[in-house]
Structure formats: structure tokens, C-alpha cells
Amino acid sequence: MATHAINHRIGVMGGSFNPVHCGHLRVARDVKATLKLDRMVLMPAAQSPFKGVHSVSAEHRAAMLELAVATHPELDLDLRELSRKGPSYTINSLEALRQEQGSQASLYFIMGDDLLPSLTRWSRWQEILHYAHVVVVSRPGVFPAVPATVKKWWNHHEMSLEALGQSPCGGVSRVECSLVNTSSTAIRAAIALGSLVSEVIPDPVIEYITQHKLYAVPSQAEANP
């Protein structure tokens, strides 16, 4: 249902969330506060075009996200990609959101700086700014160099965070967030070894993982994020 809210600010953070952890939640909360968003949405991908089959089902990943968001009512969940067949393309979701929200709402697509090196491989990546702003947050670790094409694109569209808020889409910027030095890959490996992960995963999510015996076998722990 289209809301067509004028100056409504919506953030979208995609990912596999396999499993969702406190790093995801902290970034989402920090971004929402910094950008003064009306909504901050977590949008799990059914299947990334760049990864093999996820180690647990979309249903399990969605259920864990629902439990996590229930403990953080300032965050919302959007499961549209899980109902779409085939690979999940960000551009399709942003296009659909723009149609729903109307031309005046400000949309912000949140991504980690670890994704910038592969951005040119994304479907219609240069069209993302037709529908949303791109806001990049830092991720712990060392990543490949950003391609010259992406650097040029960034320099052409970079705006201050204040300027982003004055338009519905079209700009790129950065937000500094509190970093949690962990990853879903490391968490899966720790669970497979029987290590404690209570500091980086919400308790209801840990209980769900334990109940359904997720990531307890090597095939689940080692599969794509």
C-alpha cells in the first residue's frame, strides 16, 4: 500500500543475516539515530547473486530476525525478497519501495564499505541512486581496493548527511557507527565448536539456534554467509 509520505525518511539495510547478530543491530540503530530516520528496515536476501546456497533456510533466517527485531522495537523487518523467486537484487527492492513510498520520501540504502569493491558486479548498480541515497558504514577488516569506476561515481555523487536529507535520492555519504568486531561467518564457526556467542547474539536468537540445532554441523557453519 503506497503511503506517499512527504519527507518520510526510510533506511534499508540488506544482507543474509545468517545469523543476525549485535553488529547488525547496532549499525541499524546508530544509522537510524544519526540520520533521524522515521523507519529503519532490515531486509534479508533470499539468495545473494554472489553466494552459494545459504547454510540455513530463509525461514530460519527470517524467524531469527523477527526475534531480534522484537527486542529492538525501533527497527522494522521487510521480508519482500524472501517471497521473490531467484536471486535477490537490491535494485528491484529499492524500485518497489520507491513506488510504494512515492516520489517525496527519502530512501537510504545502508551498506558496509566491504561491499564497495564488488559494487560494479551488482545488477544495475548505477541506477540505485535513481531510487535511494547510498550510505556507507565502516566494517572491521581489510578489503580489496575500490575500483576506479566506483571512486569516480562516489566523488560525483558525494553529499553531506545534511544535504541528503533535503532530497529523496541521488547522493552518497558515510556514517560512523559503533563497530562490533565479529561476523556471521565467525559466529557460525564458533557455534559449531560449541563456543559461547552470548555477547554477540541476542538471547532469543541463541535460544532459537539451540532449539533448531542450527550451525551445529560443519556444512552449516562453513557455508556462505
66 neighbors 58 (Cβ within 8 angstroms) = no
Who wins on pLDDT, 170 or 192? Answer: 170
Q: What is the mean pLDDT of the chain?
A: 89
Residue 118 has pLDDT above 50, yes or no: yes
> pTM value?
0.90
Residue 70 has pLDDT above 60, yes or no: yes
Q: How far apart are the first and last CA of the chain?
A: 32
Residue 19 has pLDDT above 50, yes or no: yes
Residue 96 has pLDDT above 70, yes or no: yes
Who wins on pLDDT, 138 or 222? Answer: 138
Sorted by sequence, the CB contacts under 8 Å of residue 38 that are 6+ apart come out as 5, 8, 9, 10
What value does the mean pLDDT take over residues 17-35? 94
Q: Which domains does the chain have, with CATH numbers?
A: 9-181 (3.40.50.620)
Residues 104 and 4: their CA atoms lie apart, in Å, by: 7
pLDDT of residue 2: 45
Residue 56 has pLDDT above 90, yes or no: no
Residue 54 has pLDDT above 90, yes or no: no
Q: Which of 7-11, 30-34, 53-57, 183-187 has the least mean pLDDT?
A: 53-57
pLDDT of residue 88: 82
What value does the mean pLDDT take over residues 107-114? 95
Confidence of residue 3 (pLDDT cuts 50, 70, 90): very low
